[in-house]
Amino acid sequence: MQLSLVIPLLNEAESLPELYRWITEVMQKNGFTYEIIFLDDGSTDNSWDIIYRLAQKDPHVKGVKFRRNYGKSQALHAGFKMAKGDVVITMDADLQDNPEEIPDLYHMIAAENYDLVSGWKKIRYDSKLKKNLPSKLFNWAARKVSGLELHDFNCGLKAYKNEVVKDINVYGEMHRYIPFLAKNKGYTKIGEKVVRHQARKYGETKFGSDRFIKGVLDLITLWFLTRFAKRPMHFFGSLGILMFMVGGLATFIILGMKAYNLIKHIPAPLVTDRPWFYIAIASMLMGIQFFLAGFIGEMFIQNNPKVNFYEIETVTE
């Protein structure tokens, strides 16, 4: 099978029939062998009824219904497990992703040997204040942290080799950072393609403004795990030593000044009356706690049966 289309959705009953017809036309025109996997992430409208009817009449259609809304990452994870096509393409169900882009995306994976191709909605029809500006800031931060020169990390329209989607673990709300996850797994041929953005035709967006805050927090998490998941002592231990040394130096200076005043018979307040003394002591205690956190983290790593975090690509016979 050439193509698996993985489409997560939430309350998109109005869009589904039109999206299905559009995808089918593109598939038949290009002669693809394909499957369409619709993932209903806890819809409360009749999205599932439409998916079920489509699956009954068309063997290319498969449907998955979650008991409740778990999020886009979980839907993609389930779809990736099911996908059988050599090339896997993800897209949103709201008709804002154009199925006419599918042949070019497929060609970039199958013929040009990209591991992953991310869409770039260069011209958007969203509100500039609500989505465009925050999206640009978010993508700038993601580029700096990941080292990937992609303009639109959060674009739902992406293409992958099948082995890539089987190898990455999409959890939480990490669907925004799938290219970053793929890079961390050793897939380095990651490309980008300008794709057409369609204005939303039905309903309203399912994502609120809080997604940008969550996105930044997830980016920090991913950066930390990428750099220190295998060596927590390098982060916590270094920070702990630094704080302990700063606190210890400050305490030494404060006590030294007190001793000097006593020797010179210069009136001076009690050390315990100075707020800087308590700040210095707190810094030393926090330094010890950070160091112990790193030490405990190292103990967990050493007792992990998967302590050797490496991926083997091929082995000669």
121, part of any domain: yes
Instruction: Give pLDDT tens digits for 120-140.
Output: 988 776 655 555 667 778 888
16, part of any domain: yes
Same domain, 77 and 173: yes
Average pLDDT, the chain: 86
Same domain, 181 and 284: no
Residue 85 has a pLDDT of 96
What angle, 0 to 180 degrees and rounded to 10, lies between the N-to-C axes of helices 238-263 and 275-302? 150
Same domain, 92 and 112: yes
Same domain, 205 and 58: yes
**Bridge partner residues of 84 (DSSP):** none
pLDDT at 101 over 70: yes
314, part of any domain: no
Same domain, 150 and 263: no
3-class secondary-structure state, position 211: helix
CB atoms within 10 A of CB 49: 13
Residue 127 has a pLDDT of 56
Same domain, 171 and 114: yes
- Mean pLDDT of the region 34-40: 96
Look at phi and psi of residue 118 and say left if phi exceeds 0, alpha if psi is from -120 to 50, else beta: beta
Same domain, 149 and 277: no
289, part of any domain: yes
315, part of any domain: no
Residue 276 has a pLDDT of 83
In terms of Cα–Cα distance, which of 69, 84, 60, 53 is closest to 8?
A: 69
How many domains does the chain divide into?
A: 2
Instruction: Give pLDDT tens digits for 135-155.
Output: 778 888 888 888 898 988 889
Rg (CA), the chain: 26
Residue 209 has a pLDDT of 57
**Bridge partner residues of 194 (DSSP):** 120
CATH of residue 187: 3.90.550.10
- Residue 267 sits in which domain range? 232-302
317, part of any domain: no
CB atoms within 10 A of CB 204: 8
Instruction: Give pLDDT tens digits for 240-296.
Output: 999 999 998 988 888 888 888 888 788 877 877 778 888 888 999 999 998 888 888
Domain boundary among 209, 227, 245: 227
The answer to whether residues 95 and 19 touch, using CB atoms and an 8 Å cutoff, is: yes
Instruction: Give pLDDT tens digits for 40-85.
Output: 999 999 999 999 999 999 999 999 999 999 989 999 999 999 999 9
The sign of the torsion formed by the CA atoms of 244, 246, 252, 258 equals negative
Instruction: Give pLDDT tens digits for 193-208.
Output: 999 887 777 766 655 5
307, part of any domain: no
End-to-end, the C-alpha distance of the chain in Å comes to 28
- Mean pLDDT of the region 111-118: 96
pLDDT at 316 over 60: no
Q: State the pLDDT confidence band at 219, using cuts at 50, 70 and 90.
A: confident
58, part of any domain: yes
Domain boundary among 210, 227, 244: 227
Range name among 134-148, 208-222, 231-245 with the lowest pLDDT average = 208-222
Residue 314 has a pLDDT of 55
pLDDT at 30 over 60: yes
d(CA 173, CA 181): 12
d(CA 117, CA 160): 7
Residue 257 has a pLDDT of 84
Same domain, 125 and 192: yes
Same domain, 259 and 240: yes
Same domain, 179 and 292: no
What's the pTM? 0.75
Same domain, 252 and 217: no
Residue 202 has a pLDDT of 72
Same domain, 49 and 194: yes
Domain boundary among 175, 208, 227: 227
